[in-house]
């Protein structure tokens, strides 16, 4: 597997990868788990060569402590990517993507205003800006993202269409541990006691879905979910919501295209999850 560091090196490597046919990009922030590797394996099926990027994007962290705590494991990540069948990994530096004088920010209106957008000011502009930069540097035919960050996936789809970026966006279902906890690089930061409680988030969203489908009002189901999370020790609970899967607007009634999304903190670790409504 090629390990690509600079931007010049990237251009040369991409020319070689492109010669093989369709090129897939799997953007990541490292600390890779089976969810990321599932994206690489699916990329392998859909393209002729696969390039992953690892970049802990400072622009999408609204909390400096969160950026400092973000787990990093470059050598371990490279070994996992190679085993999963990646041809190349790109490790840009902040200076590669945001050189001195960099003054542009990509903002996707609407979809980004609520939920994660409201609780993490600037986060989605950071995501949209870095994904645009990754796309314009790599020019992939296809890019793969996990559904765990549902709102992020919706904004990337919108942005790719709006800006005619010409990249096919593929979202893959969340990969979970056997007890239902969605895999996340942040899970490594949970204490053993918090790790034991964390699957309550998934179970609570499942129960909320069942309650709404069985006729409970959305408002009552949302409140019951918040109460269940608080009783399990989560707090603060940023949001638990039943929304339209594409626009992320709140949905007061059960619907065919609905999604249940939530974000809540356990100890010092903020967890997010979602499921079909």
Q: How far is the CB of 16 from ligand PAF (least distance, A)?
A: 23
Active site residue 36: yes
Q: How far is the CB of 155 from ligand PAF (least distance, A)?
A: 10
Task: Tell me if 131 contacts ligand PAF by CB under 6 A.
Answer: yes
In 30-122, where does DSSP find H-type helix?
34-46, 64-69, 74-84, 94-97, 116-119
Nearest to 56 by CA among 145, 130, 137: 130
| Length of the chain as a residue count | 277
Tell me which stretch binds ligand PAF (CB under 6 A): 65-73, 92-100, 123-131, 172-180. 123-131
Task: Please spell the DSSP secondary structure of 215-246, one letter per residue.
Answer: T--HHHHHHHHHHHHHHHT--SEEEEEEEETT
Q: 273 - beta bridge partners?
A: 262
60 vs 112, beta carbon nearer ligand PAF: 60
Q: How far is the CB of 130 from ligand PAF (least distance, A)?
A: 5
Task: Tell me if 35 contacts ligand PAF by CB under 6 A.
Answer: no
Nearest to 59 by CA among 162, 153, 169, 134: 134
Residues 38-97 that bind ligand PAF (CB under 6 A): 57, 60
Task: Tell me if 127 contacts ligand PAF by CB under 6 A.
Answer: yes
Nearest to 52 by CA among 97, 84, 98, 16: 84
Task: Tell me if 108 contacts ligand PAF by CB under 6 A.
Answer: no
Q: Taking a C-beta distance cutoff of 8 angstroms, is the pair 238, 264 a contact?
A: yes
125 vs 149, beta carbon nearer ligand PAF: 149
Task: Tell me if 160 contacts ligand PAF by CB under 6 A.
Answer: no
Distance (Å, whole) CA 106 – CA 244: 23
Residue from the set 23, 25, 29, 229 that interacts with ligand PAF by CB under 6 A: 29
Q: Taking a C-beta distance cutoff of 8 angstroms, is the pair 65, 55 a contact?
A: no
Residue from the set 28, 137, 187, 200 that interacts with ligand PAF by CB under 6 A: 28
Residue from the set 87, 116, 149, 273 that interacts with ligand PAF by CB under 6 A: 149
Q: How far is the CB of 134 from ligand PAF (least distance, A)?
A: 7
Tell me which stretch binds ligand PAF (CB under 6 A): 22-30, 65-73, 221-229, 253-261. 22-30
Residue from the set 13, 130, 181, 201 that interacts with ligand PAF by CB under 6 A: 130
Identified catalytic residue from 33, 36, 107, 119: 36
Distance (Å, whole) CA 213 – CA 264: 23
129 CA to centre of own chain: 14
Distance (Å, whole) CA 269 – CA 222: 22
User: Which residues form the interface with ligand PAF (CB under 6 A)?
Assistant: 27-29, 57, 60, 127, 130-131, 149, 152
Residues with catalytic function: 36
């Amino acid at each position: 597997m090629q390990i690509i560091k600079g931007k010049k090196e990237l251009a040369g490597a991409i020319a070689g990868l492109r010669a093989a046919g369709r090129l897939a990009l799997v953007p990541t922030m490292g600390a890779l788990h089976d969810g990321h590797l599932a994206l690489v394996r699916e990329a392998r099926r859909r393209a002729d060569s696969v390039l992953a990027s690892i970049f802990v994007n400072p622009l999408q962290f609204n909390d400096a402590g969160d950026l400092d705590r973000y787990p990093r494991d470059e050598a371990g990540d490279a070994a996992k990517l190679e085993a999963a069948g990646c041809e190349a990994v790109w490790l840009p530096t902040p200076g590669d993507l945001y050189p001195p004088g960099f003054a542009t920010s990509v903002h996707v209106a609407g979809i980004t205003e609520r939920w994660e957008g409201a609780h993490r000011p600037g986060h989605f502009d950071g995501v949209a800006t870095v994904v645009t930069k990754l796309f314009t540097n790599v020019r992939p035919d296809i890019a793969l993202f996990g559904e765990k960050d549902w709102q992020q996936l919706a904004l990337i789809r919108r942005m790719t269409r709006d800006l005619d970026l010409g990249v096919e966006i593929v979202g893959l279902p969340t990969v979970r541990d056997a007890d239902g906890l969605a895999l996340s690089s942040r899970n490594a930061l949970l204490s053993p006691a918090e790790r034991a409680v964390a699957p309550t988030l998934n179970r609570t969203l499942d129960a909320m879905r069942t309650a709404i489908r069985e006729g409970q009002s959305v408002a009552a189901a949302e409140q019951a979910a918040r109460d269940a999370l608080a009783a399990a020790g989560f707090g603060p609970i940023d949001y638990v919501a039943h929304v339209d899967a594409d626009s992320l607007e709140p949905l007061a009634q059960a619907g065919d295209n609905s999604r249940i999304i939530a974000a809540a903190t356990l100890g010092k670790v903020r967890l997010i999850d979602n499921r079909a409504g």
